[in-house]
Amino acid sequence: MLKICSIINRSSLTSLNLSNFNTNNVNNMSFMFCNCSSLTSLNLSNFNTNNVKDMSCMFRNCTSLISLNLSNFNTDDVEDMSDMFAGMKKCKIKTKNKKILDLIKSINL
């Protein structure tokens, strides 16, 4: 998957709404937003993650992120979520997904 953080950081974007981004055929989202340090808000509410196997380091070091909408994330087939939220400190994550909630709880985010 495309790592878009270099584009985001160069443009100094602080808010991004990708809720209508077509991700139907994506199976690897690892490092997708890794090091997007300028983002404070990210809406991925309608991301189709049904085919995703790897979400490792997806939001790693998104240190300014305070709002993240993952409300429709499906992680049933995800095999790797390691370091998905590593380096994040103060983010409010909107989700009802048990795997994500358990991961958030385990790292005290």
pLDDT tens digits along 15-61: 989 888 888 899 999 999 998 888 899 999 888 999 999 999 999 99
Of the candidates 109, 103, 57, the residue with the CA atom closest to the CA atom of residue 88: 109
By residue range, what is the domain housing residue 41?
1-109
66 contacts: CB under 8 Å, gap ≥ 6 = 40, 41, 90, 91, 92
Q: Mean pLDDT in the chain?
A: 89
**Number of domains forming the structure of the chain:** 1
